[in-house]
Amino acid sequence: MTRYDLALIGFGGVNRALAQLIVERGDELATELGFALRVVAISDLRAGSLVRGDGIDLAPLLAAKPGEPGFAGLPGGSADPRTEQVISGVPCDIVAEATFTNPADGEPALSHVRWALEAGKHVCTTNKGPVALHGRALRRLAAEHGVGFECEGSVLSGTPVLRTARRLLAGLRISGVEGIMNGTSNYILGRLEDGVDFPEAVKEAQALGYAEADPTADVEGFDVQLKVVILANEVLGAGLRRDDVSVRGIARLTPADMRDAAARGLRWKLVGSAALREDGTVDARVAPVALPVEHPLACVSGPANAVSFHTDLLGAVTVSGPGAGRVETAYALLSDIIAIHQRQAVPARAVLEESLHG
Q: Catalytic positions, please?
A: 227
Residues 142 and 134 sit within 8 Å (Cβ to Cβ):
no
- Give the span between the Cα atoms of 114 and 335, in whole angstroms: 21
Report strand pairing: 77-78 vs 94-97. Answer: unpaired
- Can you say whether the dihedral through the CA atoms of 285, 272, 324, 262 is positive or negative? positive
Give the H/E segment covering residue 143: helix 128-144
- Give the span between the Cα atoms of 21 and 37, in whole angstroms: 10
Report strand pairing: 2-9 vs 94-97. Answer: parallel
Give the count of beta carbons closer than 10 Å to the beta carbon of residue 78. Answer: 18
Residues 335 and 152 sit within 8 Å (Cβ to Cβ):
yes
- Give the span between the Cα atoms of 99 and 256, in whole angstroms: 39
First to last CA, the chain: 26
Question: What type of residue is 161?
Answer: V
Question: What type of residue is 21?
Answer: L
- Give the span between the Cα atoms of 158 and 337, in whole angstroms: 13
